[in-house]
Structure 1
Amino acid sequence: MAYSMGDLKKGLKIELEGIPYKIVEYQHVKPGKGAAFVRVKMKSFLDGRVLEKTFHAGDKCEEPNLQEHSMQFLYHDGDSFQFMDNETYEQIGLNEVQVGDSAKWIIDGMSISVLFHNGKAISVNVPQSVELKVTETPPNFKGDTTSAGKKPATLETGAVVQVPYHILEGDIIRINTESGEYLDKVK
């Protein structure tokens, strides 16, 4: 299916010159003189680069051949992240660029959605929220009861997030993976 200028919107996945992209910003421009056009910022699934492109009336782009498979994260061997298909037990490796910022939210054994383009794994999608253990955080001091105060906490994946003062080492917390923000304490 081909997309025209009017079909474009934020979050849409498109393919240009054989490369799959996701539209991250969208702006419809209607100048006082001349025809309307759409200016988009799109992020490549293959290398993570962000490009800007202007689409005019009549311009077309294709729908990419993308499939998602549920896979289990096994381990990170220094060069690549190893995943196993939950149905066929086949293993694949993805590099740091393909995994991107998702690396700071995944732990061994976690179920992840891996995105394939024309049968080749290109990126991962982590759940919108994950539960991770706090491995290091400064101690609480008597009087630190303000709910607005925050302190840094290092999670089991190595990610650092801001948490309320009542969170201690060993606590399990829920994190929003899109914004990297603390949501709540699990236990």
Structure 2
Amino acid sequence: MPKINGNEIKPGNILEHDGGLWAAVKVGHVKPGKGGAFAQVEMKNLRDGRKLNERFRSDDKVEKVRLEQKDQQFLYEDDGMLIFMDSETFEQTQIDAELLGERRPFLQDGMIATVEYYEEEALNVSLPQKVTCTVEDTEPVVKGQTAANSYKPAVLDNGVRITVPPFIATGEAIIVNTDTMTYSERA
């Protein structure tokens, strides 16, 4: 595994630190008036979800871990575990549903998601960036309401509440960005 300097850490990097695997969530570079510069890194443990704030000086060496990514098909959920299948080997993998957090409702049956592995252990799931959903309930369209920044609340077919532009009606299919959980465009 490659070693990188403490000032080369970027958000999204996976680091081996204190005997665990950590994802860098936020990185801030600080140059105090006295002493050397350092990177203030907020990290999240990939195995148990703990958070940690750590300072790395530029001469500190950290192990950068490369995760293997495989596209796998979501089959079903069973007792809080998501079951994915490799399309080539038909091997099934179980992943804790809590890994997805608030993005869990966007995972649809048969959807292809990217599962990240460290050796043989599945650590993370990345959903497609854009998912098509149907608007279940929203206020009716008001003619002549064309204000650029006015959004109205809507409930999607998966139960998630987002805001949509005023021209979107109930029953319409829209594309939602799963990273920001916001309306992207009409389907």
TM-score, length of structure 1 as denominator length: 0.88
Contact kept in structure 2, 1:48 and 1:97, CA below 8 Å: no
**Residue of structure 2 equivalent to 1:54:** 55
**Residue of structure 2 equivalent to 1:112:** 113
**What code does the residue aligned with 2:75 have?**
L
**What code does the residue aligned with 2:80 have?**
D
Secondary structure, counterpart of 1:182 in structure 2: strand
The CA distance in 1 between the partners of 2:148 and 2:74, in whole Å, is: 35
The CA distance in 2 between the partners of 1:155 and 1:168, in whole Å, is: 12
**What code does the residue aligned with 1:60 have?**
K
Per-residue Cα deviation, 1:40-65 (whole angstroms, up to 9, x for no partner): 11222223333110112432211224
**What code does the residue aligned with 1:159 have?**
V
Aligned pair count?
A: 186
Contact kept in structure 2, 1:128 and 1:177, CA below 8 Å: yes
Q: 1:147 to 1:6 in 2, by over 3 A?
A: closer
Superposition map of 1:7-156 within 5 A:
7-142=8-143, 144-156=145-157
The CA distance in 1 between the partners of 2:148 and 2:161, in whole Å, is: 19
Contact kept in structure 2, 1:102 and 1:124, CA below 8 Å: no
Percent identity among equivalent residues?
A: 36
Per-residue Cα deviation, 1:93-131 (whole angstroms, up to 9, x for no partner): 212322323313211111100111221111101122222
The CA distance in 2 between the partners of 1:87 and 1:17, in whole Å, is: 36
Q: 1:18 to 1:78 in 2, by over 3 A?
A: same
Contact kept in structure 1, 2:136 and 2:170, CA below 8 Å: yes
Which stretch shows the higher mean deviation, 142-151 or 57-66? 142-151
Contact kept in structure 1, 2:7 and 2:56, CA below 8 Å: no
C-alpha RMSD over aligned residues: 2.0
